[in-house]
Amino acid sequence: MTDQSRLFKTSQLEAADAEPRNATDNPTMGELISARFSRRGFLQGSLAVSAIAATVSPLALLSARDARAQDGGSAFSFTEVEAGIDENHHVAEGYDADILLRWGDGLFPDAPEFDPTTQTAAAQERQFGYNNDYVGYIPLDGSSEHGLLVVNHEYTNPHLMFPGIVTLAEGAMTLNPLSKEQVDIELAAHGGTIVEIVKTDGKWAVVKDGALNRRITVNTEMALSGPAAGHARLQTTADPSGTKVFGTINNCAGGVTPWGTYIMAEENIHGYFAGELPADHPETANYDRLGIPEGSYEWANFYDRFDISKEPNEPNRFGYIVEVDVMDPNSVPKKRTALGRFKHEGAESIVNKDGRVVFYLGDDERFDYVYKFVTSGTYNPDDRAANMDLLDDGILYVARFAEDGSMEWLPLVQGQGPLTEENGFASQADVVIETRRAADLLGATKMDRPEDIQPNRVNGKVYVMLTNNTARAAEQVDAANPTARNAFGHIIEIAEADGDFAATSGNWEVLLKCGDPAIAEVGATFSTDTTVNGWFGMPDNCAVDSLGRLWVSTDGNNPSATGRTDGLWAVDTEGSARATSKLFFRVPVGAEMCGPLFTPDDETAFVAVQHPADGGDDWEGFGRVSYYEDLSTRWPDFDDAMPTRPSVVVITRQGGGKIAV
């Protein structure tokens, strides 16, 4: 690894700034958006184009606002937060944003107190992990005030975690090699947390003696299930059966199934592997398509399984959807290979009208694809056990979008179309192991970093977060994508045919093109009612609350470029207020906004603040690189004896009640 390869926002910058891995000539989403806008006329359709608001008369703008007032206007009611940058978090007036869980907090009665100067792997396995990302809530006894919180721990930032490992020379920073003990702490800090929480007198707290509390780490034994389980390409020295694997890595977004299991999505797996394969090795092209090995982690220095020259099949055992039965703390998590192997960003699901369950999946890399998985079996709400293996049998689809606003879902099934033995797909196992290559051959649409994808059971739509694509070439610039190296992203809205989430066709629309609407060449399409605080860029995670309202969190706001940190925005999707956005919560400097998640009664929102203080040189309030001994913020403790700590924040309305109603 290079000296600075892991100093800054490792997970997301790998996805955003690495060389694109899709070498096909499949059409990009940007090209399709351009063609569609050109076909129908730039000012037609359901979107208000605020970037050209200067060309619309004041009378017309007033008429539009009057129309919004007549149909009820925005679905959200709160006083907007002012966008900006500082050391702390901020929430809308009238709400409390309390720290619920911090890195190192004990999860069990015997968990040691967190001491950042004497960390151990054994202690970390009993404590809340690092870089909390996805947050899910599973009610106990149907309650919105007592349940299990499930949280992914995506990756580690050693320069923020460990004292004494950074060297500064003439303003340049280098990261000194980690010891085996520090690597073991990293392994223990990855994975996930399952913890019981309860709300008492309006405030949430962790139940440390909860019988279902659990930490999942890189050392947790897991089973491989589905079509790839036992295949020769998954067999290793330690596991000649190809059915068992230790741990899960880089768990970004996730999901909770209708039957109450916890979904962990393995995303940027490439950084954990080092070594080299011969050019003619049968897995070399497969690994190149995923960027393996990148070697940004040092685990291969101590564990052979992360060195592909010693264990060439080990990477084929990562990049899956992991399902955990939270009601049994001794259960063996299962990697559900039927849902494909790629850089998974979440797995949000919905029960279709015929009882089958549909999961939406993003592959978080520039020019990669949008997927969905439809179970063969149907969900049984009266028999939880009957649902426990639904994810081992079904059809995985990849999306192809057309410029006329239609789309189709292409089945990734061995033997169909080009997915034949002649093309290297001898079985369905080969299809799911090399999902990206299979999708390439089917002609899927190349997207701008598909991240969270959320179905909305209230309005029947599906929302796709496309974070950005800074690799857009100058020749792709057009009216709808006016800037090369587009940094701000899009949100796509899908309407499945006949309201059938299992349909193989549908229609798509651009809900938002993101960025600052005051800069015309950006081409942002927020409504004219969106304030200077309300616009955002880099949509990442999202949530739909029980009222069907869309909430979007962001990843990548650069203080010097945008004048704001990441945060959580409320986005209208219906009526004349469509494409209006309002800032509800913002994170401290250097942090990414993850989550969000609402309890079933909409009276609590959970958000995850990831890698606070991972930056500061581009903020005039700090103006230098940030590391353990010299941090741009010591959020959330603001204690000189404590480093910055990624944390889950719980948001409630003062005096009680639903959020933003």
**Segment 75-97, tens digit of pLDDT:** 999 999 999 999 999 999 999 99
Residue (of 204, 252, 106, 264) closest to 599 by Cα position: 204
Residue 3: pLDDT band (50, 70, 90) is very low
Mean pLDDT across 71-76:
86
Other residues' Cβ atoms within 10 Å of the Cβ of residue 637: 14
pLDDT at 567 over 50: yes
Domain boundaries, the chain: 10-653
In angstroms, rounded to a whole number, what is the distance separating the alpha carbons of residues 450 and 345?
8
pLDDT at 484 over 80: no
On the 0-12 / 13-18 / 19+ scale of CB atoms within 10 A, 139 is: middle
Predicted confidence at residue 58, as pLDDT, reads 40
Q: From residue 290, how far is each of 235, 273, 366, 472, 490 by CA, in Å?
A: 19, 11, 12, 20, 23
Residue 619: pLDDT band (50, 70, 90) is very high
The residue to which tokens 């060389």 are assigned: 19
Instruction: Tell me which of 39 and 220 has the higher pLDDT.
Output: 220
Q: Tokens representing 34?
A: 């351009």
pLDDT at 383 over 60: yes
pLDDT at 40 over 60: no
For 342-486, where are the E strands, in sequence order? 344-351, 356-363, 366-368, 370-378, 394-401, 406-411, 447-448, 450-455, 461-466
Phi-psi domain of 43 (left: phi exceeds 0; alpha: psi -120 through 50; beta: other): alpha
Residue 37: pLDDT band (50, 70, 90) is low
Q: Which CATH class for the 10-653 domain? A: mainly beta
pLDDT at 34 over 80: no
In angstroms, rounded to a whole number, what is the distance separating the alpha carbons of residues 346 and 338?
15
Stretch among 230-244, 343-357, 483-497, 611-625 having the lowest mean pLDDT: 483-497
Predicted confidence at residue 35, as pLDDT, reads 72
Residue 222: strand pairing partners:
245
Mean pLDDT across 110-123:
98
Residue 495: strand pairing partners:
461, 507
pLDDT at 250 over 90: yes
Predicted confidence at residue 61, as pLDDT, reads 36
Stretch among 165-174, 207-216, 230-239, 498-507 having the lowest mean pLDDT: 165-174
Predicted confidence at residue 621, as pLDDT, reads 95
pLDDT at 609 over 50: yes
* Mean pLDDT over each residue of the chain, to the nearest integer: 90
In angstroms, rounded to a whole number, what is the distance separating the alpha carbons of residues 44 and 42?
6
Predicted confidence at residue 471, as pLDDT, reads 83
On the 0-12 / 13-18 / 19+ scale of CB atoms within 10 A, 338 is: buried
Q: Contact 431/438 with Cβ under 8 angstroms?
A: yes
Residue 497: pLDDT band (50, 70, 90) is very high
pLDDT tens column, 541-557: 999 999 999 999 999 88
In angstroms, rounded to a whole number, what is the distance separating the alpha carbons of residues 91 and 585?
4
The residue to which tokens 């409630």 are assigned: 652
pLDDT above 90 covers a percentage of the chain that reads: 83
Predicted confidence at residue 7, as pLDDT, reads 45
The reported pTM is 0.92
Residue 474: pLDDT band (50, 70, 90) is low
pLDDT tens column, 508-566: 999 999 999 998 888 899 999 999 999 999 999 999 999 999 999 999 888 888 899 99
Predicted confidence at residue 241, as pLDDT, reads 98
Mean pLDDT across 391-416:
96
N-to-C CA span, the chain: 49
Mean pLDDT across 479-497:
75
Residue 29: pLDDT band (50, 70, 90) is low
Stretch among 66-70, 177-181, 209-213, 340-344 having the lowest mean pLDDT: 66-70
Q: From residue 57, how far is each of 181, 426, 529 by CA, in Å?
A: 65, 62, 15
Q: Tokens representing 573?
A: 């999707």
Mean pLDDT across 414-429:
98
Predicted confidence at residue 561, as pLDDT, reads 83
Mean pLDDT across 190-217:
98
pLDDT at 50 over 80: no
Dihedral angle computed from the Cα positions of residues 199, 203, 209 and 215, in that order, rounded to the nearest 10 degrees: 90
